[in-house]
Structure 1
Amino acid sequence: MSWKRTWLLGAGFFSISMTWALYNAFVPFFLDDFLSSTALIGFMMTLDNYFALFLQPWIGNRSDRTATRFGRRMPYLLLGMPLAALFVVLIPLHTSFLMLVLFMVLMNLAMSLYRSPTIALMPDLTPERQRTKANGIINFMGGVAAIIAFGAGSVLYAAHPAAPFVLAGVVTLLALLILRATIRERRDALVPPAEAGTRIRLRGELDRTTVLLLAAIFCWFVAYQGVEALFTLYGKHHLGLSESASSFSLTFFSLFFVLFALPSGWLGTRYGQKRVIGLGIAGLFLVFGAIPLADGVTSLRILLALGGLCWSCININSYPLIVATGSDRSIGTRTGLYYLVSSLAAISSPPLLGLAIDGFGYVSLFVCASAAMLLALGFLLAVRAPGERRTDVGAEG
């Protein structure tokens, strides 16, 4: 395994994480100029995910069976990343509500073309026993991107609303250049391409273990996606923070996610991914329950920092676990399933939590998030992880 290549591979996830963080932090402010209902804002934040819902599993499955001189995943990056860079820059340049929605949909449509293939490159190029550590490295870079997005992005947004989105577009293009220059799939991939005519059926991957794990993933993404999409409005309207201060508070969540990304990968390899995920879910359940009790910005940011640690335990270990429950030939397909349920959560969570806010106030945001985490823990406890079926837990990585 090449650790240098793993760090370079993280450039793709760096650009994805930065774009999503900026999108979730600042697009609600654009929508707030046109819509008065938090539920409607939450719904508009999910329109793009309807495209991702259908495209990502299909693209992931198709990339498993793609064979070109560029490799199986790279063609999707070469098409999707330039388009995403273009449309993310156009979002803040909208002149009407219709144009804003159009650019939002086109940007996320472009991102859905390359998101699953980009993530699938990691297990393609990494031995199974090292995938959790490699995922820690990649998510470490994603967390750094989120810190830049929430920290520097808030400063850039205060200077000009378009500036953070220009940054995201430039980073996406740079990431593509790095990946194209350093990754040669036909040379570097450890997983052989599927034989001609091979079909990998989505339904065939849905055994009991996979379904329970996908249900847990859905529930914890309901909590996370809802909080991430609506937190800046929570800070602005409930706590009285400025727009830039509200988005900056999320930096603490991302910072401590980054600080614990590599240790989380080590813990998952050493003690088992399921155990570490369960610890993270329990911790984030308590954090979300305590946030409404925060009596100031300092205590709020301390809780967000603890939440970042817990989210690291969950996020670093979940993707390698869903891949480990299947065979190497279905890596792209399982990556698509992983993003299918996260897209379902992104579709359902913001409008539902926004509706709860409209009816019961902003405190209900974290009550609902805590309840979703409790459900996730229940589903996870019913999962039989690969390490529980075999004795070589450490080798499962």
Structure 2
Amino acid sequence: MARSQTSPLPKVMNIGTTEIAPKFGSQSELRPVSIWYMASIVAFSLGAQSVVFCSNQVLQNTLRDHFTKNEALIGFVMAFNALNMLWVTPFVAWKSDRIWTRFGRRRPIVMIAAPILALAVILTPHAPSLWIVILLVFTFQVAEDAEIAVVAPSVSDTVPDQQRQIAGAMMQFIPAIAIFVMGRYVMKLTDRAEHWPYTIAGLLVITTAIIYLAAMREHYVPPRANERFKLFNYGKEIFRLREYRLIYIVFLCQPLWVIVATQWFASLATQELHMTQSEYGSAWAYSGLVTLLVAIPLGYLCNMLGRRRMFALMGSMLVVVPLTYGIFWMKTATGIAVFAGMQSFCFNLFRMNFIPYVMRYTTPRNVATIFGFTSVMNGLVRFTMIPLAGFLIGLTGNYRIPLWGGYIGVIACVAAILAMRPPEKVRDEIARIDAEVASASQHD
């Protein structure tokens, strides 16, 4: 017979010289926050994005110049991030929904992952062999995927619904700083010493993690300490609402028109367009520059108008323009800059609206779990499509092949978003699911 179990009382937390007891997390209790707070709680994504930049734009040339010319093998190593997203992010996210420590439930993840991430990425360019590179890449991408697991949940935990499109814009703005700085300035340093992008990324990881840890205000949610990860129960939780399944389809297909489509642009620039890494970095930096210029104003505009679903659809459909341009007319460094700017605008419009839209289907008890599984979908398409693209590129020598897959991603994303019922129409169903989760947490 199952025995009932009461949730432990929240422990008093010391912050500076003031002692406070954490409050139970609830959207109705969340107060408006400043834009500076939003920037602080997503700050560590700047460090993580610096590592992503190294993985996507620098690592392939490091591998090709020093270890292997096999494009399929290079694609496989670059896809480690996607492989780890299949298990690291969902488990860490699931666990963070169920714990409570003296530091909260999200902060411990960053406290553990950040030092590992920084050390591994700094050591990568100094590796003496391909196997050591593979080990280091695997390690830092495990840590990176663990950190990513708490980005959206940190926003959902502490930012009220009426400000989330602004927070979504900040989730785009902060990483864009890394894209712009790394591409525009740090990539130039590779002509002097190849280690600089990795070294600077590692230092940014530590710095931004400290900012997050100092700023994050955790809201107490009763832990489920006795709950063990069981695949059947996990599957039941993440698939029980129809909208969850549609959300996963979006996250499965969206990388086709962002990450997969552009994963080989560094090779396209250096091999086909005969650009230096520095020239390519400067051109691709316009992706970050556009985000820096439009993210915050666009976020405020979208927040004022609402219409999250409509704007997410617009972002998905507009990306057809840069995809077509990239396939047929992108011939120079200027062309890469134009593509990067257009794609960045579309992705910003999509993500700053779709992420807050998805949050409306979640509760404090399952927000990380749901977003964690979106990473499985995201990682699955990356892990399969990036090596496949590398294989096709190796056969044909055409670095633009991945752009064609972007059209498939657009069609699937639009269809899935249109099929989602508005959150208001499933509010009772969401409340019932949350009540079932709360009830289950009281039993072994």
Contact 2:166 2:299 in 1 (8 A): yes
Of 358, 365, 380, which residue of structure 1 is paired with 2:402? 365
Task: Kindly indicate whether the alpha-carbon contact (under 8 Å) linking 1:264 and 1:317 is maintained by their aligned counterparts in 2.
Answer: no
The answer to whether the aligner puts 1:158 opposite 2:194 as a matched pair is no
1:276 maps to a residue whose letter is F
SS in 2 for 1:43: helix
Deviations 1:87-117 (A, max 9, x none): 0001111111111111100111122332212
How many residue pairs get aligned? The number is 386
Checking the alignment, whether the CA contact within 8 Å between 1:226 and 1:349 is kept in structure 2 is yes
How many angstroms does 1:267 deviate by? Answer: 4.5
1:1-397 equivalences in 2 (<5 Å)? 1-3=32-34, 4-33=36-65, 34-185=67-218, 189=219, 192-194=221-223, 197=226, 201-206=234-239, 207-269=241-303, 270-292=305-327, 293-360=329-396, 361-386=398-423
Partner SS state of residue 42, structure 2: helix
Distance 1:130 1:197, change over 3 A: farther
In 1, distance between residues paired with 2:146 and 2:71?
29
1:344-380 Cα distance to aligned partner (Å, 9 max, x none): 2221221122223233422322222233223322222
CA contact (8 A) 1:77 1:176 kept: yes
Mapped partners of 1:351, 1:71: distance in 2: 38
TM-fit CA distance, 1:231: 0.9
C-alpha separation between the residues in 2 aligned to 1:205 and 1:142? 28
Q: Which has the larger radius of gyration?
A: 2
Instruction: Find the counterpart in structure 2 of residue 394 from structure 1.
Output: none
Letter in 1 for 2:404: V
Shift of 1:196: 5.6
Deviates more, 1:205-214 or 1:195-204: 195-204
Post-superposition shift, 1:249? 1.7
Contact between 1:258 and 1:312, CA under 8 Å: does it hold in 2?
no
**Does the CA-based 8 Å contact 2:41-2:212 persist in structure 1?**
yes
Deviation at 1:194, TM superposition (A): 4.0
TM-score w.r.t. length of structure 2: 0.81
Do the aligned partners of 2:121 and 2:201 also contact (CA within 8 Å) in 1?
Answer: yes
CA distance in 2: counterparts of 1:126 and 1:336, whole angstroms: 19
TM-superposed deviation, 1:79: 0.7
Contact 2:261 2:405 in 1 (8 A): no
Q: In the aligned structure 2, how far is the partner of 1:195 from the partner of 1:367? A: 45
CA RMSD of aligned residues (A): 2.1
- Secondary structure, in 3 states, of the residue corresponding to 2:413? helix
Deviation at 1:202, TM superposition (A): 4.5
User: Cα distance 1:371–1:195, how it changes in 2: closer, same or farther (>3 A)?
Assistant: closer
- Report the AA paired with residue 192 of structure 1: V
- Could you tell me which residue of structure 2 aligns to residue 393 of structure 1? none
Other structure's SS at 2:120 match: helix
The CA deviation string for residues 63-101 of structure 1, in whole angstroms up to 9 with x for no partner, is: 011111110111111111001000000111111111111
Identity of aligned pairs, percent? 21
- Structure 2 Cα separation of the partners of residues 221 and 215 of structure 1: 11
Q: Is the 8 A contact 2:290 2:344 kept in 1?
A: yes
Letter paired with 1:15: G
- The CA distance in 1 between the partners of 2:425 and 2:64, in whole Å, is 48
Given that residues 179 and 288 in structure 2 are in contact (C-alpha distance below 8 angstroms), is that contact kept between their aligned partners in structure 1?
yes
Q: Which stretch shows the higher mean deviation, 352-361 or 226-235?
A: 352-361
Query: Does the 8 Å contact 2:188/2:277 carry over to 1?
Result: no
Deviation at 1:385, TM superposition (A): 3.5
Q: Does the CA-based 8 Å contact 1:22-1:153 persist in structure 2?
A: no
- Of residues 283-292 and 37-46 in structure 1, the stretch that sits farther from structure 2 once superposed is 37-46
Tell me, what secondary structure is at the counterpart of 2:69? coil
Contact 1:80 1:111 in 2 (8 A): yes
Deviates more, 1:246-255 or 1:73-82: 246-255
Letter in 2 for 1:136: A
C-alpha distance in 2, partners of 1:335/1:69? 24
Deviations 1:241-268 (A, max 9, x none): 1122123221112211232222443354
Greater shift in the superposed pair: 258-267 or 329-338: 258-267
Contact 2:273 2:331 in 1 (8 A): no
**CA 1:183 to 1:291, structure 2 compared with 1: closer, same or farther past 3 Å?**
same
Q: For residues 287 and 425 of structure 2, what CA distance do their matches in structure 1 show? A: 32
- CA positional deviation for 1:295: 3.8
